[in-house]
Structure 1
Amino acid sequence: MKALVALLLCIALPTWSAGIELRDDLGHTSRLAAPARRVVSLLPSLTESVCALGACDRLVGVDRYSNHPKQVKALPEVGGIDDTHVEQIVALKPDLVLAATSTRVTDRLRALGLTVVSLEPRSHADAQRVLGLLGRLLGVPDAEALWQRTEAGAAAAVASVPPAARGVRVYWEVSSGLYAAGPPSFMGELLTRLGVANIVPASLGPFPKINPEFVVQQNPALILVGARNAEGLAQRPGWAQIDAVRTGRICTFSNEEGDVLARPGPRMAEAAQIVARCLKEKFAS
């Protein structure tokens, strides 16, 4: 009987009982003895993913750009990529720090004895992979179910795009300085999934800086742009002759919508819905 009980206990033990080990996006291998209970997140998409996995209460600090869900705005703010407050992070006593691959203080935090995992999703597949890794770090078993719900929401958005919008040529300006969403980026992948044509060639990379004359030459039928960059669009040299500008087919996203669109994570279905709504408004049959 004792042997049977021991066997059943072994079967019932969670898979993380032997510890968690994973390799992050910088190639560093991290080990946790048990699921993380005190987490600092230095990237908004990772913050949102932790909360979507039902572990928002484990966050003890976030970067200054993490603003969703609203409850994270009450947490201690530990700076950004270029000015991370190392001493404040140490004082929060996290057992896990989630960082972007571009976070500059990663080595310093590790030297101070903290476990740092660098994860930065750059594509659709990356977002799914990172969500799964976070599920492991947090000991949350339903990361795949969350991803499937996200996928279902995105698929519904794709299905809502009117036939008249299929194949239209689109320019998506993602930040000041004419940085665009290229096809290899998660934003460019969304355009492809929605059935429209990106004027930016894949060879230029995920978020290339675009010459304004290139946009004039490519003559997109639709322009997507954030509210911060929309002002004066028609006054750019030659842009008044672009089809999208002439016909008023410009979708301007609010700052809140811009946050959703720019973060590859659990709100990717919402991002798909935002762009699909734009297509429906501008190309209703």
Structure 2
Amino acid sequence: MCAMSRRPVTQSVVFVMMNRLRGGAGRLFLRVLAGVLLGAGAVSAAVPGAGGGPTTGSPVPTAGQVPAAQDSVRTEGRGHSDTRMDMGLRIHADGRMPADARRRADSQDRMDGQARLDDRAQAGDRALKDDRGMTVTLPARVRRVVSLSPALTESVCVLQACDRLMGVDRFSNWPAQVATLPKLGSLGSFNVESVAALQPDVVLMASGGVVADRLQKLGVAVLVLSPRRQADVAPLLQRLARVLDLPQARADAVWAGIRTQLDAVAASMPPAARGWRVWLEVDPAPWVATPSSLLGETLAGLGLANVISGDEDMTAGEQPGKDARRDGHADGRADMDARQNGHAEGGTDAGTPDGEGHAGASGGSPGSHTMPAYLQVSREWALQVQPDVLMISDPQQQGLAAVRARPGWQRLKALQQGRVCLFGGDALDVLVRPGPRLAEGAQQMRDCVVRLLKRR
């Protein structure tokens, strides 16, 4: 009796869910689920055109109230159809789908996703080109945004559009408003299904790759914006203003404020520190920032010199020996990727989403445009160049003791004299992100130098 009383409720739930789900895969799954829960007769009642009559007492429409079954099930949009049931998809008794059926289902998913994107284009919405060179179609008014890059999250919020964010990557931690948003992963482990379930009008990413491809197959618009240098921030703000349909004057005013703050920080640098040669380390392998990097630009803007001048003989035995590569970088640099871009999708250089390592508008030395943003060097090379100051990223908060324990580094004069600055946590975040907090990153470096001068 109890089982009989639950059947109409179960049928109703299945019927409602099938009519709400948009994907062919969802409907196929529910057909199978309905067969298990309700039996063949109940499937007939819950699925129009499935065959058989409705179960006695069923609240779903009777055969006379349901339109006759069609050869294909229409999906929303311009009338493309889900032909899975015409493709002869079968389910094994143990619930597995045959391999050939899975391939056909995946192919149908891709076609459905592209069809939904095409629907937007036919509806007269806006088409924008992103940093992959791909044309992305967006609705006339973007109301729901997912950002999978900390720098992009901060840029959206500084344009006063934080309220449009539906979810962010794990490393997006500024401003305070984003703390309550769903965290959708990082470092190539984004939860694609969770992103799609938020039904965003657009997903913002700092680079493409597998995640972007999977989202697009689900019909989700992905816009890749890849700021790398200080000079990229102003155009980034302008493009986001267009995406969000905000006044361009707002973006221009934000950048003008950033530029003014950068100039003020540079003007406050103590003259005695100008020209100091700095070892700017982003990973203990070690990897160091070159003048082509965002960090290198910040350093040069403060009147400090980089131990990597851009003029080194890259073939010399004890000179920097290996370019920053797209693939296989160390864990510390992966952490830098995540702090800056939210992910290391595509195996890109830390701070250089496309791995090109070209210089921005400020900072850098002659020839630096040919250098990658980061170079792997030997620890022995530090003894050779004897930097005036060590600036070292410390995302794991290991402290100065870990630096002192490095073999041979006891002979570094900078370490002997305590001219070391460690950056971790929030300080490291603002240093590496090409976004609206550029001046805060510069202030971190400036404050470090001022502290060191006071110790002399």
TM-score by length of 1: 0.89
Q: Which residue of 1 aligns with 2:50?
A: none
Question: Cα 1:176–1:60, aligned 2, differ >3 Å: closer, same or farther?
Answer: farther
Does structure 2 conserve the Cα–Cα contact (< 8 Å) formed by 1:35 and 1:136? Answer: no
Counterpart residue number, 2:446: 276
Deviation at 1:22, TM superposition (A): 2.5
Shift of 1:33: 3.2
Structure 2, unpaired ranges of 5+: 1-123, 311-367
Deviates more, 1:128-137 or 1:86-95: 128-137
Which of residues 129, 133, 138 is equivalent to 1:27?
A: 133
More relative contact order in 1 or in 2 (CA 8 Å, sep 6+)?
Answer: 1
Q: Quick check: 1:81–1:104 contact (8 Å CA) kept in 2?
A: no
260, 265, 270: which is aligned to 2:430? 260
Aligned partners of 1:176 and 1:237: how far apart in 2? 12
User: Does the CA contact (< 8 Å) of 1:150 and 1:267 recur in 2?
Assistant: yes
Task: Give 1:51 shift.
Answer: 0.7
Distance in 1 between the 2:271 and 2:189 partners?
Answer: 47
| Aligned twin of 1:192 | 300
Mapped contact 2:206–2:227 kept (Cα < 8 A): no
* Contact in 1 for aligned 2:192/2:215 (Cα 8 Å): yes
The offset of 1:177, in angstroms, is: 2.4
SS of 2:210's equivalent? coil
1:59 to 149, 160, 165: 165
- In 2, are the aligned partners of 1:224 and 1:251 still within 8 Å (CA)? yes
The alignment partner of 2:214 has SS state of: helix
2:193 alignment counterpart: 87
Superposed CA RMSD: 1.7
Give 1:30's aligned amino acid.
V
Q: Residue 147 of structure 1 corresponds to which residue in structure 2?
A: 255
Question: What is the CA-CA distance between 1:220 and the residue it aligns to?
Answer: 0.6
CA positional deviation for 1:19: 5.0
**Could you tell me the percent identity over the aligned residues?**
43
| CA positional deviation for 1:54 | 0.4
- Counterpart of 2:387 (choices 217, 220, 228) is 220
> Which 10-residue stretch deviates more, 146-155 or 99-108?
99-108
Higher mean C-alpha displacement, 235-244 vs 49-58: 235-244
SS at match of 1:208: strand
- How far did 1:128 drift? 2.0
Aligned partner of residue 188 in structure 2, secondary structure: coil
Compared with structure 1, are the counterparts of its residues 220 and 257 closer, same or farther at alpha carbon in structure 2 (3 Å cutoff)? same
Q: Does 1:76 align with 2:182?
A: yes
The residue aligned with 1:7 is: none
State which of 370, 375, 398 in structure 2 corresponds to 1:208.
Answer: 375
TM-superposition CA deviations, 1:108-138 (whole Å, max 9, x none): 1112111101112111112222122111111
Measured against aligned partners, the alpha-carbon deviations of 1:262-285 in whole angstroms (never above 9, x if no partner) come to 111000011111111112222359
Alpha-carbon contact 1:60-1:76 (below 8 Å) kept: yes
Q: How far apart are 1:81 and its partner, in Å?
A: 3.5
In 2, distance between residues paired with 1:273 and 1:281? 12
Distance apart, 1:30 and its partner CA: 1.4
- Cα distance in 2 for partners of 1:212, 1:102 equals 34
